[in-house]
């Protein structure tokens, strides 16, 4: 009997210890969950398209915006701050979006037109998640859509090319034949025509955003035909345009070849040596500022569902500093055209005529 009482007492003691241990474990987990430290942070993340986070273009610009938001709010890279997932193919879009939602980020961005179908699907399935998409529209109450007036940036690039060409032949290299790139092309053609309708424009779509070799071969043909300035809107494919221009300039320092970059300031991409650079300017599309704007509105409890459109008037479209490549008198003319677009005197077409 004594042994039986001892066994019962021991069992009760062990059960109590197990219960207390379980409670302690629960409290420990709570301190690092969203109910603990994370609840004070508004977290943000993004999914790239296949161009990658270091595409020197809009994916990289978007990531900069997210990093800047993180810095402003004292966040660090990771689950309790900001992060990104890179897509190797379009098959990764839905998987990456779902993964970031499961990691409990407060807002998740899909970067690029190509993510539209994935955002639409995930938004309908994950109705409590806040999503945003760059360069496309998704009609859902939990999605913020961000569009830009790329045609205005293309217009300024066209004006610049037309004022600076010496051969009377300029080129446009696009990536995929989609609305956002069509707007760049339409603006570029309109800008060239506004300066001199007799200038010839060679336009080519490579069909890719991530194949630099296609950009290089296209630029090779264009420069070989007498084109002296190429404006690219081709993501990482455009890196090949820079490569071709740099190789030609390195082989012949007197070669008159220029590249106009896109989305971000691509001056570094045109560096040939310490004294030579083939980047004339870049058509800036401030994806970084747009991402910060949307994230801040969501953080303040004003999630901007619907579509926001940004252009020159909002200071989210413009040209990068030419670092002296564009003479002051030419820059003055470019500035005049910029003001005319900004105040509405010039309305840039969104589609090629």
pLDDT value for 210? 87
Helices (H) and strands (E) in the chain — how many of each? 10, 12
pLDDT tens readout for residues 204-221: 999 999 899 999 999 999
Distance CA 344, CA 38 (A): 46
pLDDT value for 7? 40
pLDDT tens readout for residues 175-202: 999 999 999 999 999 999 999 999 999 9
| Fold of the domain spanning 40-148+290-295 | Rossmann fold (3.40.50)
Domain pair 40-148+290-295 / 150-284+323-342, same fold:
yes
pTM of the model: 0.84
Distance CA 136, CA 49 (A): 13
Q: What is the DSSP letter of 116?
A: H
Coil, strand or helix at 36: coil
Residue 17 above 80 pLDDT? no
Residue 260 above 70 pLDDT? yes
pLDDT tens readout for residues 110-127: 999 999 999 999 999 999
User: What are the structural domain ranges in the chain?
Assistant: 40-148+290-295, 150-284+323-342
Q: How sure is the predictor about 55, in pLDDT bands with cuts at 50, 70 and 90? A: confident
User: H-helix or E-strand containing 184?
Assistant: helix 179-195
| Fold of the domain spanning 150-284+323-342 | Rossmann fold (3.40.50)
User: How far, in whole angstroms, is CA 318 from its chain's centroid?
Assistant: 15
């Amino acid at each position: 009997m004594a042994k039986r009482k001892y066994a019962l007492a021991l069992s009760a003691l062990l059960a109590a210890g197990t219960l207390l241990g379980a409670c302690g474990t629960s409290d420990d987990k709570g301190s690092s969950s969203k109910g603990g430290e994370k609840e004070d942070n508004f977290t943000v993340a993004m999914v790239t398209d296949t161009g990658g986070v270091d595409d020197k273009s809009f994916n990289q610009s978007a990531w900069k915006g997210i990093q800047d938001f993180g810095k402003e709010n004292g966040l660090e890279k990771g689950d309790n701050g900001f992060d990104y997932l890179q897509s190797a193919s379009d098959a990764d879009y839905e998987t990456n979006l779902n993964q970031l939602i499961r990691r409990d980020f407060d807002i998740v961005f899909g970067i690029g037109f190509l993510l539209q179908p994935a955002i639409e699907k995930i938004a309908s399935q994950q109705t409590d998640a806040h999503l945003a998409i760059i360069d496309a529209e998704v009609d859902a109450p939990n999605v913020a859509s961000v569009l830009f007036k790329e045609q205005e940036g293309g217009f300024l690039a066209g004006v610049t090319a037309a004022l600076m060409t010496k051969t009377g032949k300029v080129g446009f290299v696009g990536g995929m034949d989609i609305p956002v790139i069509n707007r760049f092309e339409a603006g570029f053609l309109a800008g060239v025509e506004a300066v001199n309708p007799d200038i010839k424009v060679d336009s080519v779509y490579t069909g890719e955003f991530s194949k630099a070799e296609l950009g290089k071969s296209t630029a090779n043909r264009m420069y070989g035909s007498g084109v002296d300035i190429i404006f690219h809107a081709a993501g990482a494919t455009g890196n090949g345009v820079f490569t071709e221009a740099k190789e030609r300039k390195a082989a012949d320092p007197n070669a008159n070849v220029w590249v106009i970059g896109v989305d971000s300031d691509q001056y570094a991409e045109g560096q040939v040596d310490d004294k030579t650079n083939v980047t004339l300017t870049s058509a800036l599309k401030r994806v970084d500022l747009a991402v910060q704007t949307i994230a801040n509105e969501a953080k303040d409890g004003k999630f901007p569902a619907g579509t926001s459109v940004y252009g020159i008037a909002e200071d989210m479209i413009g040209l990068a500093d030419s670092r002296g490549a564009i003479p002051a008198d030419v820059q003055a003319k470019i500035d005049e055209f910029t003001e005319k677009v900004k105040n509405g005197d010039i309305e840039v077409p969104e589609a090629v005529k």
